[in-house]
Amino acid sequence: MVMLAKPAIEQFSYIRNSRPTALFPQIPVVDLSKPDSKHQIIKACEEFGFFRVINHGVPMDFISRLESEATKFFSLPLCEKEKTGQPKPYGYGNKRIGPNGDVGWVEYLLLTTNQDPNLLRFLSGENPESFSLWFCYCRFALNNYMSAVKKMACEILEMIADGLKIQPRNVFSKLLMDEQSDSVFRLNHYPPCPDVQSLNGSNVIGFGEHTDPQIISVLRSNNTSGLQISLRDGSWISVPPDQYSFFINVGDSLQVMTNGRFESVKHRVMANGVKSRLSMIYFGGPPLSEKIAPLPSLTGGEQSLYKEFTWFEYKKSVYNSRLADNRLMHFARIAAS
């Protein structure tokens, strides 16, 4: 069993549930093989900013192979993983999430989807032999998985464009397909938290509440619960795990580009007292220089809700914020009084 170095539980945030969050079987399920899937996607994005996809076309062999390799990595001794250094921004992280004081019961590996020379040096001989050997074996699995998931994300974005009657239909997907796309890939490992049972109804936070800043996020996890999403009324619901499906999050950038018609979903992960949770997330982002603004065809002739900004500007704002901060607030237009 893989365990984090055991710190005092007081270092971590926890939530005392005033009312228990319940499983919510009505979370939208979209069958990508069905001809009406684009309409289901639009409805899910408008009502939840989140949905589950089945018949997604990603081979299960790609999924299971990468999950196996990720498990091997997180099974390395903690001292060896820590020798890779703190993520700047790519690399291995343990408990600390970002530079602004957020912590969680999680360890992770953050990778760029592009062949960044700095990342390749990070993943080469400057690191412990066991890590470099792991990456050599894992590179093939990573490439297969990320290529398939990126293809699916682009197909979903093109269905969204079709459903919104936007031309050209690659208005969103071309940003992910661009050679300069600033997309990233993250492996999260949440070890069992033995102290959960002693907290008398409180939950230890594995990853605090936040929205994803990119355009779209594609999540796959093993069959361990923990993921929760916030509904429009502010209540939290638990998402039943499904190791054979993918979960799609609307990101902040897509919220802006649709002028608020879609809203990015606030989500979090609770630690599990018995089982470890492993998740793999593709964050589809635009090039750093890309200007993000509401599409004219979606403003209906009215003033747009957001100011134009570049992805670099927004990414910098995100990096300087806490997880739970409303980062889009700084880019919203203020109505004249």
pTM here is 0.89
Look at residues 177, 175, 174, 172 and name the one whose alpha carbon lies nearest to residue 161.
Answer: 172
Cβ contact 284:150 at 8 Å? yes
Angle 84-89-95 (CA atoms, 0-180°, nearest 5)? Answer: 65
How far is it, in rounded angstroms, from Cα 199 to Cα 271? 12
Cβ contact 86:93 at 8 Å? yes
Please give the pLDDT value at position 2.
Answer: 44
Please give the pLDDT value at position 134.
Answer: 66
Q: How far is CA 261 from CA 45, 144, 192, 250, 267, in A?
A: 8, 33, 38, 11, 19
Please give the pLDDT value at position 157.
Answer: 98
Please give the pLDDT value at position 177.
Answer: 97
Please give the pLDDT value at position 334.
Answer: 62
Which DSSP symbol is given to 336? P
Cβ contact 210:100 at 8 Å? no
Q: For the chain, count helices (H), then strands (E).
A: 8, 15
Look at residues 309, 103, 302 and name the one whose alpha carbon lies nearest to residue 208.
Answer: 103
How far is it, in rounded angstroms, from Cα 148 to Cα 226? 25
Q: Tell me which of 3.30.1640.10, 3.40.50.150, 2.60.120.330, 3.40.1260.10 is the CATH number of domain 34-331.
A: 2.60.120.330
pLDDT < 70: residue spans in the chain:
1-25, 84-86, 115-135, 195-202, 334-337
Burial 137-164 (b: 16+ CB within 10 A, else e): ebeebbebbbebbbbbbbbbbbbbbbbb
How far is it, in rounded angstroms, from Cα 163 to Cα 49? 15
Structure-block tokens of residue 62: 């790609």
Three-state secondary-structure class, residue 63? helix
Does the active-site annotation cover 277? yes
Which DSSP symbol is given to 332? B
Q: How far is CA 195 from CA 4, 190, 199, 240, 279, in A?
A: 13, 14, 7, 23, 22
Residues 6+ apart with CB under 8 A from 110: 87, 89, 90, 91, 93, 184, 185, 186
Please give the pLDDT value at position 200.
Answer: 53
Please give the pLDDT value at position 129.
Answer: 58
Please give the pLDDT value at position 127.
Answer: 56
- Selecting among 52, 261, 268, 277, the annotated active-site residue is 277
Please give the pLDDT value at position 130.
Answer: 55
AA letter at 292 = I
- In the chain, domain spans: 34-331
Number of CB atoms found within 10 A of residue 88's CB: 10
Cβ contact 299:259 at 8 Å? yes
Please give the pLDDT value at position 261.
Answer: 96
Strands 50-54 and 29-31: parallel
The string of pLDDT tens digits covering residues 18-68 is 444 544 448 999 999 999 999 999 999 999 999 999 999 999 999 999 999
Cβ contact 95:103 at 8 Å? yes
